[in-house]
Structure 1
Amino acid sequence: MADPGFHTTSTSTNHNTNIRFDSGYVKTLPGMIKITQIVLNLLGFICIEVSGYSFHSRGSWFNTVAMGGFWFTGIMLAFYLFHVLEKFYKIPWLKIELVFCALWTLFYLLAACLAATFGLEAYAAASFFGFCAMIAYGYDAYLKFRAVQAGRLEQGVKVVSKEITSPVTA
């Protein structure tokens, strides 16, 4: 029995470990950010590829960043859509995404600056999409940082219940 006058808080986490499709995720802010990132990665990649100078080191670096972002973000989007993250809830998904988004923000800053200074129109277009992707990954990193600080789950339900005990008078 708890001591009189003390408050106790208990937290329980509910995970539904069934893999299921949830199309509602794409209507949430994190879902829309992921779709935006995928589109920007693809558009930047296409701009470099059609330039005729995709073999240049600047283009290769930009395409490496774009395709790395495309594949990681696409896989994470699929994981969220099918609740794979909830099935493997012991993996620190938010921290992994935080590190990835922070790195890709820096990588896109470098890749977009290098593309902008190359002097071709296709590279200039790619740099525009690269700077937009940098902003999207930076904002996503900020959201992930706030979620990690608040102790939120990537998916699932965290139930916090308070039990207030008061002294018994006889």
Structure 2
Amino acid sequence: MEKGMADAYMAQAAGDAASSATRSVFFDRTMLTSKEVLLKIAEMVVCVIGTICVACASNPYVSQAGFFEFVASTGIIIAIILAVLYVFHLREKLAGLLRLNVVEMFYAGIWCFFFFAASTACVVHGSSYMYQEALIAAGFFGYIAMVLYGIDAFLMFHAWRTARTMTAEPTTQQVTTPAY
């Protein structure tokens, strides 16, 4: 790379960092319909339903149910935090400090595996004993959460490999008139 091109690149990178650092924190209603936030909301809903199913089991104190509750409860808390980071554009501010795509990719991948293990344990325990149908239902919702977290991990992997920060894209339409 030539010296002039390297200097121009460094100046542009410094300008981008300065402009993103001066951005204010604001609530962006359009982020509520972005695929990242909708995925977080779906993860939260499925985790809440799974936790309710475990709580309704005739014996919710078995270790399988406890592990499922831990995974689902932690998933709810972290999904809320990540959704707030997206909606208030705090993720853009933290992107310079942390590699959030990589962190979120590993989190989603680990939670995908945890939901697989917890759901399988709940389904096996629920099918082995009478009156444990609620654990089977929790396992079903856990498998749905596993798929959602797998999709989330894939999206973060794709964003990391393309070196793109997952932020709101401005949705503007350009209207062109035909030239006669």
Distance in 1 between residues matched to 2:152 and 2:32, nearest whole Å: 15
- 1:102 paired residue number: 109
Distance in 2 between residues matched to 1:51 and 1:17, nearest whole Å: 48
Distance in 2 between residues matched to 1:132 and 1:9, nearest whole Å: 48
- 2:40 paired residue number: 34
Cα RMSD (Å) = 2.4
Q: What is the DSSP-based 3-state SS (H/G/I as helix, E as strand, rest coil) of the residue aligned with 1:117?
A: helix
- 2:75 paired residue number: 69
Deviation at 1:39, TM superposition (A): 0.3
Q: Do the aligned partners of residues 23 and 117 (structure 1) sit closer, same or farther apart at CA in structure 2, a change above 3 Å counting?
A: same
- 1:128 paired residue number: 140
Identity of aligned residues (%): 27
Distance in 2 between residues matched to 1:122 and 1:156, nearest whole Å: 39
Equivalences for residues 15-34 of structure 1 within 5 A: 15=20, 17-34=23-40
Equivalences for residues 38-57 of structure 1 within 5 A: 38-57=44-63
Aligned length: 155
Q: What is the DSSP-based 3-state SS (H/G/I as helix, E as strand, rest coil) of the residue aligned with 1:142?
A: helix
Read off the aligned partner of 2:54 and give its amino acid letter.
I
Deviation at 1:87, TM superposition (A): 2.3
What are the Cα deviations for residues 120-165 of structure 1, in whole angstroms up to 9, with x where unaligned?
21011101100000000001000000100000013378xxxxxxxx
1:82 aligns with 2:88: yes
Q: Do the aligned partners of residues 94 and 53 (structure 1) sit closer, same or farther apart at CA in structure 2, a change above 3 Å counting?
A: same
Question: How does the TM-score come out when normalised to structure 2?
Answer: 0.78
Alpha-carbon contact 1:17-1:86 (below 8 Å) kept: no
Structure 2 regions of 5+ residues with no counterpart? 127-131, 170-180
Q: Do the aligned partners of residues 9 and 148 (structure 1) sit closer, same or farther apart at CA in structure 2, a change above 3 Å counting?
A: farther
- 1:148 paired residue number: 160
Write 1 or 2 for the structure with the bigger share of helix: 2
Distance in 1 between residues matched to 2:8 and 2:44, nearest whole Å: 41
Alpha-carbon contact 1:18-1:87 (below 8 Å) kept: no
Which residue, out of 112, 116, 121, partners 1:114? 121
Alpha-carbon contact 2:31-2:168 (below 8 Å) kept: no
Distance in 2 between residues matched to 1:154 and 1:29, nearest whole Å: 10
What are the Cα deviations for residues 49-83 of structure 1, in whole angstroms up to 9, with x where unaligned?
11132211000000000001110011110111111
Question: Which runs of 4 or more aligned residues in structure 1 lie more than 2 Å from their structure 2 counterparts after TM superposition?
Answer: 8-14, 154-157
Distance in 1 between residues matched to 2:117 and 2:52, nearest whole Å: 18
Q: What is the DSSP-based 3-state SS (H/G/I as helix, E as strand, rest coil) of the residue aligned with 1:153?
A: coil
Distance in 2 between residues matched to 1:123 and 1:32, nearest whole Å: 26
Deviation at 1:29, TM superposition (A): 1.2
Alpha-carbon contact 1:41-1:70 (below 8 Å) kept: yes
Write 1 or 2 for the structure with the bigger share of strand: 1
Alpha-carbon contact 1:86-1:156 (below 8 Å) kept: no
Question: How does the TM-score come out when normalised to structure 1?
Answer: 0.82
